[in-house]
Amino acid sequence: MNNKFKGGLIFQEDGSGDCNLFTQLLEKKCKKLGVKFLYNSKVEHFKRINNKIDEITINHKVYKSNNFIISFGPYSSQFQKQLNLSIPIYPVKGYSITLPIIDEVNIPDKSGIDEDNFLAFSKFGNKMRITSKAEFSGFDKSLNSKVIEKLIVLTKNLFGDSLDYRNCIPWTGLRPITPKGTPYICATKIQNLYLNSGHGHLGWSMASGSAKIISDIIEKKTPQINSDPFKI
């Protein structure tokens, strides 16, 4: 067997999951509670009156609300000039490949990291996802075939013939990175405008906790999770 993966250190508190499935089920639950989702829609403008956001424009239509949260991920700084706020969040491009598993026996059940090659791997269902790379290339999301080829070579080195490389699905995305690495989950100097953004490489892992913190802040409760590290 040409599989170099022999074992690793187990961290019992580590876990993994399917973020796509999670968000789809979350959407269903939210809809039952009355939440409306607007897809393929762009926030175009924030109207500010007396240090409060009065309304926003989405696809030429005006929407009012008591409170507004900026959660534009790597695009969060786009309104900073208009709002006269500093929101230092930058896009850092990463890659993943997802491959069907052919031979379960040689694939670890737990997700893990190959520290030597900066590869993270995670099994979900009958597929294996491998992620890597941190590129500073602005908002460009094109797939660089050389990076994908390199990822496949490194993956073959670890898992040999256990994966189906012919049906490899490559993907690229932008991590919203802050200079300190911690997200901004906080109020801004504008009364009813909040930030919940800049979660870097762990946005899904931190999503539920971040939502709890920001809802506590908006409701003027003492956050159950210490929010001090997440001020801008």
Ligand X SMILES: Cc1cc2nc3c(=O)[nH]c(=O)nc-3n(C[C@H](O)[C@H](O)[C@H](O)COP(=O)(O)OP(=O)(O)OC[C@H]3O[C@@H](n4cnc5c(N)ncnc54)[C@H](O)[C@@H]3O)c2cc1C
Q: Which of 43, 113, 186, 211 binds ligand X (CB under 6 A)?
A: 43
Residue 43 or 102 having the CB closest to ligand X: 43
Measured between alpha carbons, how far is 139 from 142 in angstroms, rounded to an integer?
9
Measured between alpha carbons, how far is 14 from 28 in angstroms, rounded to an integer?
27
Q: Which of 28, 32, 36, 42 binds ligand X (CB under 6 A)?
A: 42
Minimum CB–partner distance for residue 209 and ligand X (Å): 11
Half-sphere exposure for 138 (CA within 13 Å, toward CB): 2
Q: Does 91 bind ligand X (CB under 6 A)?
A: no
Give the β-pairing of 90-100 and 169-177. antiparallel
Residue 1 or 38 having the CB closest to ligand X: 38
Query: CB–CB of 72/91 below 8 Å?
Result: no
Q: Which of 107, 121, 147, 176 binds ligand X (CB under 6 A)?
A: 176
Minimum CB–partner distance for residue 154 and ligand X (Å): 14
* Cα Rg of the chain, angstroms: 21
**β-sheet with 90-100: strand ranges across:** 112-114, 119-124, 127-135, 90-100, 169-177
Residue 160 or 204 having the CB closest to ligand X: 204
Q: Does 112 bind ligand X (CB under 6 A)?
A: no
Q: Which of 74, 112, 151, 194 binds ligand X (CB under 6 A)?
A: 74
Residue ranges binding ligand X (CB under 6 A): 41-43, 71-75, 94-96, 131, 173, 175-176, 197, 199-205
